[in-house]
Amino acid sequence: MAVLRLGDEAPNFTAETTEGQIDFHEWLGDSWGILFSHPADYTPVCTTELGTVAKYSDQFNERNVKVAALSVDGIESHHGWIKDINETQHTTVNFPIIADEDRKVSELYDMVHPKADSQLTVRSVFVIGPDKKIKLTITYPASTGRNFDELIRVIDSLQLTAYHKVATPANWKQGDDCVISPSVSNEEIPDLFPKGHKEIKPYLRMTPQPK
């Protein structure tokens, strides 16, 4: 089984979900995407995560991001779990949960790690661009809930740096100064970055965040 790396094409698949059958690439369309997996339904940490994602739906929509969850359980189990999520997390799950009973998608995305559990998926996150390429991967241990504020921050950075010749420094957040890409010459800076820049070192040049 090949390990997926940044820049690889996100494998396409057809699957049953709580919102009907989807062709993953077709479903993504020209949107960004988050695919995140859960070891099984009715697990406590994942219940809080799915509730949080539902509460963040406006933020994902603003960024043209579609979200899909995955578990190795079936559709009937998923729908029962959604009722619990809505009840306990005081929200409404409004995104598809993929049923992966045959582990077809889990295998495509290398989500089954025998050293963790030979039957259940590990808790992976994939951020996928409109070009269907993998932009970010994170795998969490079962005991640690995912930080969706961090995923929003990363998506903001990915979308900004996809269209401007900048990178984002440590702990960057929306509105902070950015690093000018090393490929940009000093002569190009005035045209590319009319807000100005500050040279800290020849290799470290900062500029206000482009629009």
Active site residues: 46
The domain limits of the chain are 14-146, 164-207
What digits encode the pLDDT tens for the residues 87-98?
Answer: 999 999 999 999
pLDDT at 118: 47
Model pTM score: 0.90
What digits encode the pLDDT tens for the residues 139-190?
Answer: 888 889 999 999 999 999 999 999 999 999 999 999 999 999 999 999 999 9
Q: How far is CA 174 from CA 43, 109, 157, 171, 209, in A?
A: 33, 30, 8, 10, 8
3-class state of residue 27 by DSSP: helix
**CATH 3.40.30.10, applies to 14-146:** yes
The CATH superfamily holding the domain 164-207 is Antioxidant, Horf6; Chain A, domain2 (3.30.1020.10)
Q: Which DSSP string do the residues of 114-181 spell out, in sequence order? A: TTT-SSSPPEEEEEE-TTSBEEEEEEE-TTS---HHHHHHHHHHHHHHHHSSEE--TT--TTS-EEEP
